[in-house]
Structure 1
Amino acid sequence: MREQQKNISKRRWLVLLFACLTNLCLGSVYAWSVFAAPMAEYLGTITGTGITTADLAIVYTVANSVGPITMISGGWINDRFGPKKVILTGGVMFGCGMILAGLSTSVGMLMVTYGLLGGLGLGMAYGCTISCCVKFFPDKRGLIGGLTTAAYGFSSVLLPPVINLLVEKVQVKMAFILVGITFLVIISVSSLFMFSCPDGFVPEGWKAPEKQAGGQKETDKDWKEMLKSSIFYLMILLLMSGAFSGMMIISQASAVGMEMIGLSVAAAGIAVSVLALFNSFGRILAGFLSDKIGRVQTLTLACFLSVGGNVLLYLCGKGDLILFYIGISIVGICFGAFMGVFPGFTADQFGAAHNSVNYGIMFIGFAMAGYFGPTIMKNVYYKNGSYTQAFLIAAGLSVAGIILTVLYRMCKKREK
C-alpha cells in the first residue's frame, strides 16, 4: 500500500504536466482575434458580401458560452469512467471543430464548427484537466488550480504570434486546419497519461489538516447537495463579480487602448499581451497564496485590488500610458486570481469526490461574467461614446465581491 502511494505521488506530477499541455492548446480560444480579421475577409470574398470582424463576434461568444454544458456532463462521465476518455473526446471535438472551421464557407457554418463543436470540446477537456489534478493534490489545491488554469491563460501570450505567422504563410483557411490537427494530436497523446485519482489517496509525507479528520468523505457533497447550500449561491455570485472586470476588459482591451489612451494598433496589441501575462501570473500567485493564507482571504484581497485597478482605468485619459498599464496589470492579476483559486475553493467547500460536476456548475458564474462584462461595456460605449463609465460599474461589482466574501464568512461561522 505504501509503495502504491509512493508511486502515485510521483505519477501525479506527470498528470499535471500533460493536463497543462492540454490546457495550453485549449487556451487558443483566446487567440480568436488573430483568426477573426483574415477569416472575415476570406468569407467576404467567397460570399461576395461585406463581412466584418463584428459579424464574427457571435462565433467567439458561442465558443465561450457553451463550455459549462460539457464541463458538467463531462464531469459526470469523468467520475464514472475516468479522465482519459473525457479528455480524448473533448480533444477530438476541439481539434475537429478547428479543422472544419477552416472548411467553413459562411458565418453560420463557422459558428457551428468553431463555436459549437469546438466550444463543447473545450469545456469537456478543460473541466476534466482541472478537476483531475485538484484531486491528486489535496496538499496544494490552490497552487495546482493556479498552474492548470495559468497554462490555459498563457496560451493567449504564446500562440497569437505563431498563428499570425501561419496565417501570413499559408492563409487563414489552412492555418485553421494545421492548428486543429496539431491540437488534436497533442491532446489525444496527453489523454493517454491521464488516470483517475484512487479513492482515499493521500500524498506521501502529507497529513490532512485536523478539520478534515475522519476522512474527506464526510465533507463530500454531490451537485444536488451543493445546490441546497446557501454557500454555493454566494460563491457563484462571487465568481461572477470577480471575473466581471477581467472578461469585460479582455473582450475589448485593444479598442480601449486605442480609444482612451490613443495607442497605435501595434501598441494596443502589446497592451493585450501585458494583460494576458498578468492574468497568467495572477493565477499561479493567487493559487500559491491561497494555500498559505486561505482561499476567501486571497479572493477578498483580489476584490480590493480590482477596485483600485478599475478606478485607475476610469481616471485614464489620452497619453496616460503608465496609468493605463498599471490599471490593466492589476485587473489582469485579480481576474487570474479568481480563475486560479476557484477550482480548489470549490473542492474545499464541497469535497473532491464530485468536484468534476460541482466545478462545472460553479463555472456558470464565469460564463455569466463572460456575457454581462462585454455586453455592458459595449452598451456603455454605444450610449456615451466612451468606455470610462464601464470601469465604475466594474469597480462596483468588485465592491459587491467584497461584500459577498463577508457574507461567506458569516455563513461559515453560522455552520460551525
Structure 2
Amino acid sequence: MNLTRKRWRTLIACCFINLCLGSIYVWSVFAASMAEFLSTRNGVALTTADLAIVYTIANSVGPITMITGGSFNDKFGPKKVILTGGLMVGIGMIASGFATSVGALIVTYGLIFGLGLGMTYGTAVSTCMKFFPDKRGLIGGITTAIYGLGSVILPPIVTEIVAVTDAAAAFKIVGVAFLIIICGCSFFMEQCPADFVPDGWTPPAVAAGNKAENKNWKEMLKTPVFYVMLLLFTCGAFSGMMVISQASAVAANMVGMTAIMASTAVSVLAVFNAAGRILAGLLSDRIGRINTLSVASVLGIIGLLLLYMTGQGGYATFYIGIAGIGLSFGSFMGVYPGFTADQFGAKNNSVNYGIMFIGLAGAGYFGPSAMRKIYMAEETYHGAFLVACAFAAAGLALTFVYRFFAKKKA
C-alpha cells in the first residue's frame, strides 16, 4: 500500500489508542467509588481528596516515558513501543482493581498506568506527526482532541460499569478492554521513513532552497528558544490544568449549580477543550503556530476574567468563561506537537516533544496545587483565577519573546 494512503490507517489506529488513554480524565469517577471501597475494607474513612495523589503522580510521570519511549521508537519502531505501553496501561488498570490501599494504587495506577500512558501517547502522536508533514497542525489537533474526548465519551460508560459492579471490578473490566484495543492497534502503527514526502506536497523549506534542520535533544537544549517554548507551554496550559482539576467543585461552590448541572459544566469544558485542539491545529496550518498561540493566550485571559467576575447564579459568565479556557487549553495541546516539530525538525520529535511535554507536566502540578491552596486559605476560587490570569498574560508576553528569537535566527 502506498505510504501516502497507509498513513491514514496509522492515524485511525492512533485515534483509537488515544481515546483509551483519555481515560485518565475519568479518574474522578473511579476515585469516588474507590474511596468508598477502601474505606469499607480497611475501616478508615477516605475521601477523593485522599486519592488525589494517585492522579497527580499518573499525570506527572508521563514525560519520563515520553522521552525514553521516543528514543525506543526511533530505534525499534512504534509497534513494539506502543505494544509495551499498552501492556503497561492495561496491566496497571487491572492491578488497580486488586489494590487494597492508597499506596498500592500509587504503584498500579500512578506509576504503571501513568508510565504506560506517557510511552504510548508520545509515540502515537509523534508517529502521526512524521507521516503528516503537510498537515502537522491539523493532525496534532485531531490526535490530541481524541485524547481529550475521552473525558466526554468514557465517563458515562465507566459510571455505568461502576454502578452495576464497583470500582475494583470496573478497573479490571476497563483494563482488559484497553489492553486489547491498544495492543491490537499497535500492529497498525507504521515506522515513517525519514525522507517521507506525501504525494503532491513540496516541503516549504525545500521549495525555498533550504534544508530543514533536525536537532536532537542535546542540540535542542542548547537553543534559547527551547526554554521560551517550554515556559510558554507551562503558562499557556496552567489555567486549563487548574480549572479542569476542580471544574465540578467550582460550578457547585462558586456558581451554586446542582450535581447534574456541575457534571454538564465539566462536559462543556471537555467539548471546547477538544474543539480547541482541532480548530487551533487547523488554524495554525494557515496563520502559523505562534500566532495561533497568541490568540489562545488572549482567550485564556478573557475566560479567566469572566470566571473571576462570576458569582452565585452567574451561569452565563461561567459557561462563557470555561468555554474560553477550554478553547485556550485545547489550542496549546493541539498546536505544540507540530510547533515542536517545526522548530526542531520531525526526525527526533519523539524525544524532543517528550522533553517539551515537561512544560505541561509543570502546569499539571502547579496549576491544581495553586488552586487547592488558595481555596483552603481564602475559601473561594476567585484568587486562583487571578493567579492563572497572570500566567496567561506571561504566556502572551512569551509569544513576543519567541518572535524576537525567531526573527534573530532568520
Secondary structure of the 1:188 match is helix
1:190-215 residue CA offsets vs partner (Å, 9 max, x unmatched) = 00000110121100011111466557
Equivalent of 2:141, from 115, 137, 146? 146
Q: Which residue of 2 aligns with 1:365?
A: 359
Q: Which residue of 2 aligns with 1:341?
A: 335
Equivalent residues in 2 for 1:7-406 (5 A)? Answer: 7-210=2-205, 213=208, 218-406=212-400
Alpha-carbon distance between aligned partners in 2 of 1:199 and 1:365, rounded to the nearest angstrom: 27
1:44-100 residue CA offsets vs partner (Å, 9 max, x unmatched) = 111111111111000000100000000000000001110001101000000100000
1:215-251 residue CA offsets vs partner (Å, 9 max, x unmatched) = 75x4000000000000000000000000000000000
- Are the structure 2 counterparts of residues 213 and 220 from structure 1 closer, same or farther at C-alpha, using a change threshold of 3 Å? farther
1:338-382 residue CA offsets vs partner (Å, 9 max, x unmatched) = 000000000000000000000000000000000010011111111
1:310-334 residue CA offsets vs partner (Å, 9 max, x unmatched) = 0000000100001100000010010
Which amino acid counterpart does residue 357 of structure 1 have in structure 2?
V
Which amino acid counterpart does residue 275 of structure 1 have in structure 2?
L
- Are the structure 2 counterparts of residues 127 and 45 from structure 1 closer, same or farther at C-alpha, using a change threshold of 3 Å? same
1:269-328 residue CA offsets vs partner (Å, 9 max, x unmatched) = 110010001000000000000000000000000001111110000000100001100000
Alpha-carbon distance between aligned partners in 2 of 1:210 and 1:107, rounded to the nearest angstrom: 52
Alpha-carbon distance between aligned partners in 1 of 2:384 and 2:165, rounded to the nearest angstrom: 39
Report deviation, 1:393: 1.1
Which amino acid counterpart does residue 362 of structure 2 have in structure 1?
M
Q: Which residue of 2 aligns with 1:410?
A: 404
Moved segments of 4+, more than 6 Å: none
Secondary structure of the 1:103 match is coil
**Matched residue count:** 410
Alpha-carbon distance between aligned partners in 2 of 1:32 and 1:210, rounded to the nearest angstrom: 44
Alpha-carbon distance between aligned partners in 2 of 1:79 and 1:143, rounded to the nearest angstrom: 23
Which amino acid counterpart does residue 329 of structure 2 have in structure 1?
F
Identity over the aligned pairs, expressed in percent? Answer: 59
Alpha-carbon distance between aligned partners in 1 of 2:19 and 2:397, rounded to the nearest angstrom: 34
1:100-139 residue CA offsets vs partner (Å, 9 max, x unmatched) = 0000111100110011000000000000011000000000
Report deviation, 1:170: 1.6
Alpha-carbon distance between aligned partners in 2 of 1:76 and 1:368, rounded to the nearest angstrom: 22
Which amino acid counterpart does residue 184 of structure 1 have in structure 2?
L
Secondary structure of the 1:261 match is coil
TM-score (norm. length: structure 2): 0.99
1:21-43 residue CA offsets vs partner (Å, 9 max, x unmatched) = 00000010000000001100101
What do you get for the CA RMSD once the two structures are aligned?
1.0
Alpha-carbon distance between aligned partners in 2 of 1:182 and 1:259, rounded to the nearest angstrom: 36
Alpha-carbon distance between aligned partners in 2 of 1:53 and 1:385, rounded to the nearest angstrom: 19
Which amino acid counterpart does residue 322 of structure 1 have in structure 2?
A
Which amino acid counterpart does residue 208 of structure 1 have in structure 2?
P
Report deviation, 1:392: 1.0
1:138-161 residue CA offsets vs partner (Å, 9 max, x unmatched) = 000000000000010000000000
Secondary structure of the 2:202 match is coil
Which amino acid counterpart does residue 290 of structure 2 have in structure 1?
V
- Are the structure 2 counterparts of residues 16 and 354 from structure 1 closer, same or farther at C-alpha, using a change threshold of 3 Å? same
User: Could you list the runs of 5+ residues in structure 1 that have no partner in the other structure?
Assistant: none
Secondary structure of the 2:254 match is helix
Secondary structure of the 1:35 match is helix
- Are the structure 2 counterparts of residues 342 and 177 from structure 1 closer, same or farther at C-alpha, using a change threshold of 3 Å? same
Report deviation, 1:171: 1.5
Alpha-carbon distance between aligned partners in 1 of 2:312 and 2:43, rounded to the nearest angstrom: 39
